[in-house]
Amino acid sequence: MTAHKELLKAVEAGKATVAVIGMGYVGLPLSLAAVGAGFTVYGMDINEPRIKGLRAGKSPIRTVKDEEVAEANATGLFQPHTDFDKLADANLVIICVPTPLTRNREPDLSYIEDSGRRIAKTLKPGQLIVLESTTWPGTTQQVLKPILEATGLKAGKDFHLAYSPEREDPGNAIYTTKKIPRVVGSASDASLDIAAAFYGRIVDKVVRVSSTETAEAVKLTENIFRSVNIALVNELKMIFTRFGIDTHEVIDAASSKPFGFMPFYPGPGVGGHCIPVDPFYLTWKAREVELPTRFIELAGEINLYMPRYAIEVLAEALSRKLQKGLHGAKVLLLGLAFKKNIEDVRESPALRVFELLKEKGADVTFYDPFVDELPKHHMPAAIAGEKSIVWNKAALKNFDAAVILTDHDDIDYAAVASEIPVIVDTRNAMARKNLASEKVFPA
């Protein structure tokens, strides 16, 4: 039996050893799903406190429960490590690291490149390397592959290489890791077979595509689709609001059409690691072939403008209701996470609202039941380290206005409605709670 068939057989039986690099929102759920399928999993991360916590059964992210980590530990199959020499003992190595943008909004592949160099130190014949990080079409072949082949081993001949875009949706209780289909692409049939067999053990459906470039393009297409449609409804919201029309009522009614319409909902912009970032990976790559990406860039412009629009609505509301300006106004921001019921603030448009209000001289603070304190690093200097207030209904009387930026379920909206004279609602939260009134201003 050839080496790749032996590995394929081991993977199909759930007997292979898997190393997952990155124990965050993507890597940790993947690791636990792989453990559930019978694989031995090395959970790799350079963050020592995070690894120590995982060994103690503590999850670093709210969307994965401590009990799930503890159960995985109890099996003996889940082994968190900071020692990347352990990669030598793995049959499969999965890369789940961030791919942010630089200050100039260009792709930052430094985490992928660092992971590639760490893998190369122990790369051995027969291993399968899979990249999951969202990136521009060609990254697997043009960036990761040369780093690995600098060892003298050749992809498709000595080791296997594939790409499978992560599709995690943190906080989504319906579409868990297992229920979300996986796209897998490779330049080698043998590599594709092994990668598909691995994901086939942990998810309900695997979709094979012809190349890593196609698989990379799939993820960008998914999130550009969302970015463009969110931008569209955000633009419609600004127009309909000026006409006195409830945008959410329009969308809900349009959703009754059983074909040709898919509902997207407006907000203060877009957040998270994917939607605000992924479109710029494609626009950057498209410049290589001198093709315009006007549609994608226009959507980005609209979404980036929405925090300013929320502040414009706030300024008008303060003037109309309290005869006050933004400067010196006491403003409470409700929710800083990029989506409801999670603690993730990456690329959250609420952060931009916070920063802009500070610049305009507002006396601004925030409450978020899932965010105790903003990070001190990778955060605008004006708001780095800011802490959430402790919820106190009586203290709400001290605020001139509240701005609902993330519609967490664990916020007492009735208290907000009764105690704060001006409420700017970017999420339609008050209407959904039947708390709409003359003090509530949609934004």
Confidence of residue 342 (pLDDT cuts 50, 70, 90): very high
Gap between the Cα atoms of 328 and 118, Å rounded: 51
For residue 176, the model assigns a pLDDT of 87
Residue 171 in this model has a pLDDT that exceeds 90:
no
Reported as a single tens digit per residue, the pLDDT across 296-335 is: 999 999 999 999 999 999 999 999 999 999 999 999 999 9
For residue 435, the model assigns a pLDDT of 96
Residue 1 in this model has a pLDDT that exceeds 70:
no
Block residue for tokens 């920063």:
355
Query: Domain 3-209 falls in which CATH fold?
Result: Rossmann fold (3.40.50)
Domain boundaries, the chain: 3-209, 230-442
Confidence of residue 168 (pLDDT cuts 50, 70, 90): confident
Residue 152 in this model has a pLDDT that exceeds 90:
yes
For residue 277, the model assigns a pLDDT of 87
Across the range 112-137, mean pLDDT stands at 97
Residue 430 in this model has a pLDDT that exceeds 80:
yes
For residue 105, the model assigns a pLDDT of 81
Catalytic residues: 274
Reported as a single tens digit per residue, the pLDDT across 190-225 is: 999 999 999 999 999 999 999 999 999 999 999 999
Confidence of residue 170 (pLDDT cuts 50, 70, 90): confident
Average pLDDT of the chain, as a whole number: 95
Across the range 174-182, mean pLDDT stands at 91
* pLDDT more than 70, % of the chain: 100
Higher pLDDT, 3 or 428: 428
Residue 146 in this model has a pLDDT that exceeds 60:
yes
Q: What's the CATH architecture for 230-442?
A: 3-Layer(aba) Sandwich (3.40)
Domains 3-209 and 230-442 share a fold: yes
Confidence of residue 72 (pLDDT cuts 50, 70, 90): very high
For residue 102, the model assigns a pLDDT of 84
Across the range 224-240, mean pLDDT stands at 96
For residue 123, the model assigns a pLDDT of 98
For residue 437, the model assigns a pLDDT of 94
* pLDDT more than 90, % of the chain: 89
Predicted TM-score of the model (pTM): 0.92
For residue 172, the model assigns a pLDDT of 81
Residue 2 in this model has a pLDDT that exceeds 80:
no
